Each structure stands twice: as structure tokens, then as C-alpha cells.
Amino acid sequence: MKTDLTDTTSSKINKALVLGRRAIGTPAVGMVLTLVIVTDEENAYDALKAANEASREHPSRTLVVIKRGSRSPRDRANARLDAEVRLGADAGSGETVILRLYGEVVDHAQSVVLPLLLPDAPVVVWWPVNAPTDPANDPLGALAQRRVTDTYAAEQPIEELTARAGTYTPGDTDLSWTRITPWRSMLAAALDQVHCTVTSADVAGEEFNPSVELLAMWLAERLKVPVRRSRSNGPGLTSVRLQTSAGPIVLDRPDGSLATLSIQGQPDRAVALKRRETAELIAEELRRLDPDDTYAASLRYGLERLDEEAAVTAPAPEQPVDVTAVPSAETDPAAGPEAGAEKKAPAAKKAPAKKAAAK
Amino acid sequence: MSTVDGANPLRDAADRRLPRIAGPSGLVIFGVTGDLSRKKLMPAVYDLANRGLLPPGFSLIGFARREWQDEDFAQEVHDAVKQHARTPFREEVWQQLIQGMRFVQGDFDSDEAFEQLKETIQELDKAQGTGGNFAFYLSVPPKFFPLVVQQLKKHGLADQKNGSWRRAVIEKPFGHDLASAKELNEVVHEVFPPEAVFRIDHYLGKETVQNILALRFANTLFEPTWNRSYVDHVQITMAEDIGIGGRAGYYDGIGAARDVIQNHLLQLLALTAMEEPASFDADALAAEKTKVLGAVRLPKDLSKATVRGQYAAGWQGGAKAVGYLEEEGIDPQSKTDTYAAIKLEIDNRRWAGVPFYLRTGKRLGRRVTEIAVVFQRAPHSPFDHTSTEELGRNAIVIRVQPDEGVTVRFGSKVPGTQMEIRDVSMDFAYGESFTESSPEAYERLILDVLLGDSNLFPRVEEVELSWKILDPIEQYWDKHGKPAQYESGTWGPVEADEMLARDGRSWRRP
């Protein structure tokens, strides 16, 4: 069931929600949280689709906040709020309100959202694109227990990751971190099987993918060993190699779906490690709403420190695989890997990588 | 530098995204061609793999008489998974699983077959890195238990060497009375130590059943009233709408009480009535469950406190149903109960004087399992009699299946100018608040076996105590009277209604 409201207010939207629920005969629903999606018109459809799929696991009220650009000074002066209320089969297993903001009200989105939050239930804000630099201090972010960003979708993911580390507040999380949960869980399972000492690690993945950095920082933080990063053609992360006292442990996924786990002295094994859809990532994010301390610790480890540690123990430059850490460390350790990567990456190569990212 | 000495540096209790993954291991299923294996076990293994909860290299060995090759077995698992798995079929997960799938053909008394099983396990340890850790799932009729267990011992398959583990998983029935249960336990424990034996009561793997503990001990709202001061009585029901189907051979002579009350219902009773465990670990839980089962007392006059019945011909949900005695393969003189209702009391400070009514039956109104805690009426009501005429007793109902959830019933004013109070329900539904994520009971239980986590498995003492409760009733039934007949599709014999009416109560319609 859909209700369109033009030039409306939050209280009229609330009324429409109550009437709508009565009309379809479900006066009480067990929704567990409010999910606020802040996006532009271009990304709204995909984000809402993912949220609706995720709502099958976590029935929620989804508020999509779309900030419309104004084309003229007159437009800018005329503040207006349009809403589309969806209930029942049109809204996954919850309620959806799509809010379109015009003019001045764009800067006061929290005044629209606040009256529409479910009582008592937790609030999650998700920015599929264009996340604010400091999510916790954003007016909408301040309403939420949990703030979900996605550095993968950023123009300069690596810089943005560093910025996130600077402004981290408990409750922040990033989908680039969510994406590597299966990798982390498989690597932890691999170390369950072998009693050994890890001496160093290598992580390879496509460029402009902050998951590579996050996984490397997590390994460095947990294992206290130097971790090198290298570029590959993707998709996503392609391999992790742990050097251990019991020989190398390699998790290799060239095709984005089936990986091979090799442990010295044991036969190679195929393990399913498929790249997941956004809906699955959001569902994982909504499963726990307490601060993610492991993410915080990994993020704060810092890319600079990662490069320094890797440079100190890096083997002589004859190992050509290591294109990131070694050259950038030699020229200017403070510049970080992205400086080296920018120089190396021709513009033509960047485009397909971005396309894969969007998928 | 980082050393892995037992503690894995990549594991951290605060990192709650990482799931509990079983260590290197494999599962051997005896009776792999059976219904349970096809409908529950194989899909559960796949669902676990799909959720990333099985270790890389997890292996599945099927053991049965059928003349299959590994490929035939894989095909069978493939079909079973496609048909019954809860999660969508994904090729890459299947590719991971299929590498560790083997089939061993043979009879349970064949030494060659068990030697071959041993070789298969050794081969898998090499090829898949299972590290000698295997669980043996005995999905076979109980009469084969001793044979299979002895064969495992004879061929050294039950030996736990070099830190590896071997575990046995057995399904109900755990005997048919106390003596046979003890005998069975002796047979199994002669080969496997008690902590390596996992008795599956699939009810305990259900989310709602685990939620009984969360509801009672994580909240402050319910526990203060959870005692004789407020509770009038408790009803625990497990109803099935089907008849015995093709299980005549198994069911006749066993009956509803042995089949359901002894295990499922008494476990539900234990969880509902037990004191708060010191912690949520297996020993603390078992201690409390054992304590409360030990405190269960039977009423003196069993003729007034127990009822048994047999379904007679009738209409069940719009389909014509034959009576139990007319079922194929059933002796027309059979005294086996297809319905049983019993009244129990618990002799402790919390529950003294509060009856627990347990009932189960086949061909009842609908398929439902629930625990209803019915409260006393308010000791004084400021409203006059006519205004509270339609007010029943407050109740908390834990709906175990289907439509898992919790219902609270209480009185509320009917809108209007008169003061009229009527019962209303407040519902919490798992399907609404946490849709779709509930794993199947078998998934949880198989994972727990592989992890060695015995929280959700009844122990020897619990099984034996349950038989001690049921045995006197069965003996009484053997000597006195015969089952009452009840029409299929109804809620059981009138005698059961009379049993509660004598106490001034009535059965809830679930």
C-alpha cells in the first residue's frame, strides 16, 4: 500500500502511517529498529532495495532521506517536504517512508526524521554515498546508535579511511569492514588448525579498495607482525598469505567466489568465499548494534604505521610483487600507499575498477 | 611476532562478527538413507556450510547398506539439500562440501565395511585435514545401537588419540523404560565416555526453547511471579495433527507417553520450572534440570491424575481419518496410547501445590507445541462481577512451534461507556521481530556436537530421572483399564477434560 503526500510535515506522515496500518489490518508490528538512509536520488533505489531485503531479517521502519538539489534561487527559498509512505508488501517486512527534501529544509533533515523514529528502538543511519566526514557529529548521525558509512564508494577511499580513523566514535562502522568478515573468519579458522608462529603477512586486492587496508591493519593489530599490501586485478580482495613457523598459509580467491586454502603439509581445500550483496552486508550490520571494538582497533592502527612496519622488515626490492609498500616507503614513508598507487594507475584502468566497485 | 599456543591471536571475544566455527572435523552418519538423514541432517550440514560455520575440509561420510558409489551419495545429498535446505543453494558452497563426501557400503555386522570406514577416515585425515576428529551420528533403530557401537569399538574407531576426539550422537528413544535406558547407557558408555555422548532432543535446539531461559533469567518482569504465589498451574502441550503414518512397527507398544512425554515434555517442564543456573554452561544447566526433575512427584491416585486415549475414526481438518485400531499393521486389541495427559507436582518451595499438566497426542485439532503458565485470579477485584465476566486468567504462553513466540494474556477494558473487561493478547512473534534468521534445530545441534558444547543435550541422569517419573504411570496403565477413544480432529478424550474439571480448571485451546 502506497500513500503520496506532497508538501507535508512529519505529523501528517505519522498520521498516514497509522491510517495505513489500520487499512491493511496490522495495527501492531514487532519492528526492531529504525533505519535512516541518507542518499541522493541516484542511489536511492539500490539502497532501498538492499534495505528492504535486509528487513526480512530485521523488520524495521526505513526512512529514506533524499536531499534534492535546487536549480534556482527561488527553489532554494521554497522549502518543501514530499513523502511516500509504503506499507505491507511494498515495504519488505516493515514500513518505508521516502522523504524528499527541497530547499532550506535540506539543511534541517533531522527535524523531519526525529518525529518519525520508532519509540525506544535503536536508530541506524546509513550513508550509501557521500558520508559526512564526522558521522557522529552530523545532525542526522547524532540521532543514531550506529552510523554506517561505505568508504568503498568514496572518490578517494584511502584518504577517507584515514579521515574515519581521526573522527571515530563508538558506533561508527563501515561496509568495507563488513565485507571482510568471511575472510577474517576463514583466516581465524585456518589458524585454529595449525599451531604455529606467524612472522609476516601479505594482503593482495584491487586498487581503491579500502577492504585491503582494513584487513591488513586487522592482521597487523592482532598478530603484531609486519603486513605488506600489493595490488591485483581483483575482484575485491584476492589473496592473503601468512608466513608462519609451520610454512605459509595462503587463502587465494582469484574469481570472487570460490577460494583455495593452502596450508603446508595439508592438501589444498576449496572454501566458499563469495562476495556478498549489499543487502547481506546491511543485514550483518544490523545484527549487532553495540560498538565494534575490533573495527576501532584495526582502523586506529593507522596506515602510516602499517607502511612503516612493513618497510622495516621488507625483503630487498628484488621481490617485485610488493609494489605498494616498498617503493612508497623508499621515497616518502609518510605519503602512504595511495600516493604511489595514484602515480601508477592510469586513468583508463581506474574506470573498470570503479565499475566493479559499484557492483 | 605472534605465537599461536592454543590461543589464536585472530580470535577475540570482543570480535562478535566472527562466528563460532567448528574446528577441523567430520561427521559419519549411520543410516544415511533414512528419512531423518535426508530431510534434516543433510540439509542442516549444507545450511551450516552456507552460513560459513563449518571448517574448511569438513567431511561427511555416509554409511548404509545401499550399493552406492561416492558420486551416488553426493547426488543424493545434492537432491536432499535442494529440496529441504533452509538457505538458498549456492554452487561454490556445494563445491566446498562435495570434496569431503564419501560413502561406505555395508551392513552393521560387516567387519570389512567397518575396516573400510576406518580407511576412509584415515584417508580424509590426510586429504581433508580433519585431524582425526569425527562424530558418529547413529540415525538407526535403537536395536542396532549395541551392534554399531561395538563395531566402532572393535575396529578402534572410538579411540581418541593425540588430542583428537570421537563423539557419538544418538537419537531418541533412549530405551522404553528405566531398565532398558540403563542398559543402553551402559552399552554406549562402555565405548564412549559420558562427555562424548550427545543425546539429541531436537526440541532443545529450537530457538524458542532456548528463549525460555532468556525470558526467565534475562528479564526482571517475569521471574518475580514465576512461583506458587502467583502461578495457578502450568500446561505443557504437544499436539500433532497426523496419525502414526507408516510407523506402526515402531509406534505400537511404545505410545505417546514414551514417545513424547518422557523426553520432550519433561525437558520443557525442567526448563520452565528449574531454578536459575549459576551460569549458562552445560554442568550448571544440567545440575538445575536434574534437581527439578528429581523433585517431580506423581499424585497418589493415578486413576484420577492420568488419562490415555486412542484416536478413533473421524475427520481431521477436512480429511477423513481412520481410527488407530484400524491403521494398517496395528493389532485391533492394541492398548497403545496415542494420547496421554498426566498431572505432575513439583516438591519444592517454588512450586509446592502448583500442578503441571502435560499432554500430547496424535490426530488432535492442529499441530502445536506450547507452554502455558496460567496465573491466579486477582485476589480482590474493585470491579463488579458482571464487568469481569469475560475476564479469564492471565497467562504467559510460550509458543514453541509453529509460529514461534510468546503471548501474554491479560484483561483490558472494552471501549464504550460501560466498564467491561475482556481478555486480550499481546504477542511477540519470532517471525516478526527476527524474521528468517532462526536456524533449524538440527543445525544448531550438529554445530554444538562438532564444537563439543553439550548445553542443549540431555544427560544420562536426566534421561533416567524422566523414566523414573514415567515408569509408574506406564505400569499402572498396563494393569488397569484401556485407552479412552477420542474422535480424530478433536482435542482429546472427554476424560482429559474431566481430569482438569475435577481441579476446577480447563485445558487451553492452543
Q: Mind giving me the DSSP string for A39-75?
A: E-HHHHHHHHHHHHHHTTTS-EEEEEEEE----SHHH
Given this model, what pLDDT does residue B327 score? 86
CATH number of B26-171: 3.40.50.720
- Using the beta-carbon criterion (under 8 Å), do B99 and A193 form an inter-chain contact? no
Distance from C-alpha of A98 to C-alpha of A16, rounded to nearest angstrom = 13
Q: Is the pLDDT score of B129 beyond 70?
A: yes
| Gyration radius from chain A CA atoms | 23
**In the predicted structure, residue A330 carries a pLDDT above the cut 50:** no
Name A67's bridge partners: A101
Mean pLDDT of B316-340: 87
Instruction: State residue A326's pLDDT score.
Output: 39
Encode pLDDT of A71-90 as tens digits. 788 777 788 899 999 987 77
Residue ranges per domain, chain A? 2-149, 179-273+301-359
pLDDT at A124: 94
Enumerate residues 1 to 30 of chain A having a beta carbon within 8 A of any beta carbon in chain B.
Answer: 28-30
pTM listed for this prediction: 0.80
Higher per-residue confidence, B381 vs B74: B74
Q: Do B19 and A284 touch (CB under 8 A)?
A: no
Q: What is the pLDDT of residue B270?
A: 95
pLDDT of residue A256: 82
B4 near A CB under 8 A: yes
Whether residue A33 is predicted with pLDDT greater than 90 in this model: the reply is: no
At residue B24, does pLDDT exceed 60?
Answer: yes
Higher pLDDT, A216 or A189: A216
Residue to test with chain A: of B98, B164, B399, B435, most A Cβ within 10 A: B435
Which residues 140-169 of A have a C-beta within 8 angstroms of B? none
Q: How confident is the model at residue B433 (pLDDT cuts 50, 70, 90)?
A: low
Q: pLDDT exceeding 70 applies to what percent of chain A?
A: 84
- Reply yes or no on whether the pLDDT at B92 is more than 80: yes
Quick one: pLDDT at residue A173? 94
Of A13-27, B112-126, B184-198, where does mean pLDDT reach its minimum?
A13-27
Contacts of A36 (CB under 8 A, 6+ apart): A62, A63, A65, A113, A123, A124, A125, A126, A140, A143, A144
Q: What is the pLDDT of residue A27?
A: 52
User: What are the residues whose beta carbons fall under 8 Å from the beta carbon of A318, sequence distance 6 or more?
Assistant: none
Query: Looking at residue B432, what is its pLDDT?
Result: 58
Taking the CA of residue A88 and the nearest CA in chain B, the distance in Å comes to: 13
Q: Where do the DSSP E strands lie in B211-318?
A: 231-239, 296-297, 306-312, 314-316
A275 touches chain B (CB under 8 A): no
Chain A CB contacts of B428 under 8 Å are 30
The residue ranking higher by pLDDT, B75 or A344, is B75
User: Once rounded to an integer, what is the mean pLDDT over residues B360-384?
Assistant: 89
Chain B residues in contact with A274 by the CB 8 A cut-off are: 90, 92
Q: Which of B1, B2, B436 to mutate to test the interface with A (most CBs of A within 10 A)?
A: B2
Percent of chain B with pLDDT over 90: 45
The pLDDT of A195-211, averaged and rounded, is: 90
β-strand partners of B423: B411
Query: Model confidence at A258, in pLDDT bands (50, 70, 90)?
Result: confident
CA-to-CA distance for A46 and B58, rounded, in angstroms? 37
- Residue B42's pLDDT band (boundaries 50, 70, 90)? very high
* Residue A313 contacts B, CB cutoff 8 Å: no
Question: Do the Cβ atoms of A158 and A337 come closer than 8 Å?
Answer: yes
Q: How far is A206 from chain B (nearest CA, A)?
A: 22
**Which residues from B are below 8 Å from A288, CB to CB?**
16-17
Element (H, E) at A284: helix A278-287
pLDDT greater than 50 at residue A346: no
pLDDT in tens, B162-190: 788 999 999 888 888 999 999 888 988 98
pLDDT tens, residue by residue, B267-305: 999 999 999 999 888 899 999 999 999 999 999 999 999
Residue A29's pLDDT band (boundaries 50, 70, 90)? Answer: low
* B437: confidence class by pLDDT, cuts 50, 70, 90: low
* Cβ-defined contact of A57 to B436 (cutoff 8 Å): yes
Instruction: Tell which of A120, A177, A192, A217 to mutate to test the B interface (max B CBs under 10 Å).
Output: A192
Check residue A336 and give its pLDDT. Answer: 40
Provide mean pLDDT across the span A273-292: 88
In this predicted structure, what is the pLDDT of residue B22? 81
| pLDDT higher than threshold 70 for residue B354 | yes
Tell me what pLDDT residue B172 has: 82
B375: which 3 cell numbers?
Answer: 496465573
CB contact under 8 A, A272 and B14: no
Q: Which residues 11-70 of B have a C-beta within 8 angstroms of A?
A: 11-12, 14-19, 21, 23-24, 49-50, 52, 55-57
Residues of B in contact with A56 (CB under 8 A): 435-436
| A contact test, residue of B99, B428, B432, B434 with most A CBs within 10 A | B432
> By mean pLDDT, which of A266-275, B57-66, B73-82, B450-459 is the weakest?
A266-275
Write out chain B residues lying below 8 Å of A197, CB-based: 1-4
Q: Residue range B310-318: average pLDDT?
A: 86
d(CA B24, nearest CA chain A) in Å:
7
- Catalytic (active site) residue B264: yes
* Kind of pairing between the strands at A80-87 and A2-5: antiparallel
Between CA A358 and CA A277 the distance in angstroms is: 11
Average the pLDDT over B224-237 and give the result. Answer: 95
pLDDT band at B449 (very low <50, low <70, confident <90, very high): very high
B window 386-445, beta carbon within 8 A of A: 427-429, 432-437
Candidates A93, A274, A290; nearest CB to B92: A274
Residue A328 reports pLDDT greater than 70: no
Q: With bands split at pLDDT 50, 70 and 90, how would you rate the model's confidence at B15?
A: confident
Q: How confident is the model at residue A314 (pLDDT cuts 50, 70, 90)?
A: low
The ranges assigned to domains in chain B are 26-171, 204-440+459-502
H or E segment and range at residue B495:
helix B494-502
CATH 3.10.20.340 fits B204-440+459-502, yes or no: no
B53 contacts in A (CB within 8 Å)? none
Q: What is the pLDDT of residue B309?
A: 93
Q: How far apart are CA B422 and CA A157, in angstroms?
A: 60
Q: What is the mean pLDDT of chain B?
A: 88
Under the banding of pLDDT at 50, 70 and 90, the label for residue B388 is: confident
* Residue range A239-251, pLDDT digits in tens: 999 999 988 999 9
Distances, alpha carbon A87 to alpha carbons A7, A120, A319, B63, B338, in Å: 20, 21, 59, 51, 45
Q: One of B78, B264, B380, B385 is an active-site residue; which one? A: B264
Which residues in chain B are contacts of A196 at CB distance < 8 A? 4
pLDDT at A219 over 80: yes
pLDDT of residue A299: 92
- Asked if B4 and A194 come within 8 Å (Cβ–Cβ), the reply is yes
Preceding amide of A320 cis, omega within 30: no
Which B positions 116-155 lie with beta carbon below 8 A of chain A?
126-129, 131
At A26, the pLDDT band (50, 70, 90 cuts) reads low
> Across the interface, do A197 and B2 touch by the CB < 8 Å criterion?
yes
User: Do the Cβ atoms of A153 and A50 come closer than 8 Å?
Assistant: no
Higher pLDDT, A31 or A263: A263
A222 and B56 within 8 Å at the Cβ level: the answer is no
Task: Evaluate if residue B332 carries a pLDDT over 80.
Answer: yes
Alpha-carbon gap, residue A137 to B215, rounded angstroms: 37
